[in-house]
Amino acid sequence: MTGAGTVLVLAGHFDPTVDLAIEELNRRAVPVFRADVSEFPVGLVLSAGLTGDGWCGTLDNGRRTLRLESVRSVYCRRPTRPQPPKNMSAVARKVAEREARLGFGGLLTALPCRWLSPPGHAADAEYKPLQLRVAAESGLKVPRTLITNDPNTAKRFADDMGRVVYKPFHPIRGLVSGEPAVVYTSLVDPQDLPHSDIATTAHLFQEWVPKAHEIRLTVVGEQFFAVEIHVDSERGHLDWRSDYGSHTYRKCDPPVDVVDGVSRMLNRLGLPYGAFDFVVTPEGEWIFLEVNPSGQYGFIEVATGVPITAAIADYLEGRA
User: What per-residue confidence (pLDDT) applies to 175?
Assistant: 55
Q: What is the pLDDT of residue 181?
A: 65
Question: Which part of the chain has CATH 3.40.50?
Answer: 6-116
Specify the fold of 6-116: Rossmann fold (3.40.50)
> pLDDT by residue (tens digit) across 80-129?
889 999 999 999 999 999 999 999 999 999 999 999 989 899 999 999 99
pLDDT of the residue at 91: 95
* Ranges in the chain, pLDDT < 70: 1-3, 174-181
Burial 239-274 (b: 16+ CB within 10 A, else e): bbebbeeebebeeeebeeebbebbebbbeebebbbb
Please give the CATH architecture assigned to the domain spanning 123-141+209-317: 2-Layer Sandwich (3.30)
Residue 48 CA to residue 291 CA, distance in Å, equals: 35
Q: What is the pLDDT of residues 149-170, one digit of tens each?
A: 999 999 999 999 989 999 999 8
In 3D space, the residue among 275, 263, 296, 274 whose CA is nearest the CA of residue 140 turns out to be: 263
Beta pairing class for 114-116 and 71-76 = parallel
- Residue partners of 28: CB distance under 8 A and separation at least 6: 313, 317
CATH 3.30.470.20 region(s) of the chain?
Answer: 123-141+209-317
